[in-house]
């Protein structure tokens, strides 16, 4: 998960982001994962679509492309000019399903993948 500080909120979330002009959602998620956690991925399948704040959010099941990679904190190009403490993307961390079972995003993924 990625650690964000944004609009006065401090939270962990699944990596992702917006679709840029002229980009399709599938290319956007691959780009966002590369930017935020420095991993090259391929899409295995769409897990679900969900409405959030008037937008449709799509959750994908992804797989690392090629050999095992070491994830690392990436960047948000929109924040490139800001000092570290003011950037939205603050950290990355792996969690067990048990640790984040009640997180709304993780809970939905667990349900869709029938991991309960």
The secondary structure of 30-43 as a DSSP string is: HHHHHHHH---EEE
**Look-up of token digits 């809970």:** 107
Counted domains in the chain? 1
Query: What DSSP designation does 67 have?
Result: S
pLDDT tier at 86, thresholds 50, 70, 90: confident
Which of 31, 37, 5 lies closest to 17, judged by CA? 31
pLDDT value at position 35? 93
pTM for the structure as a whole? 0.85
pLDDT value at position 76? 85
The rounded distance, in Å, linking the Cα atoms of 15 and 34 is 10
Q: Indicate which CATH number applies to the domain containing 93.
A: 3.90.79.10
The two three-digit tokens of residue 107, written as one number:
């809970």
For 9-68, the pLDDT digits (tens) are 999 999 999 999 999 999 999 999 999 999 999 999 999 999 988 888 999 999 999 877
């Amino acid at each position: 998960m990625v650690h964000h500080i944004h609009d006065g909120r401090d939270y962990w979330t699944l990596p992702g982001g917006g679709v840029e002009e002229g980009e399709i959602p599938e290319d956007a998620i691959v780009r966002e994962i590369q930017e935020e956690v420095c991993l090259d991925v391929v899409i295995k399948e769409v897990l679900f679509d969900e409405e959030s704040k008037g937008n449709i959010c799509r959750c994908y099941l992804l797989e690392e492309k090629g050999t095992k990679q070491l994830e690392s904190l990436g960047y948000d190009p929109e924040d490139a000019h800001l000092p570290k403490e003011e950037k939205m993307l603050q950290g990355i961390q792996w969690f067990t399903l048990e640790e984040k079972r009640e997180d709304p995003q993780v809970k939905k993924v667990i349900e869709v993948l029938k991991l309960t």
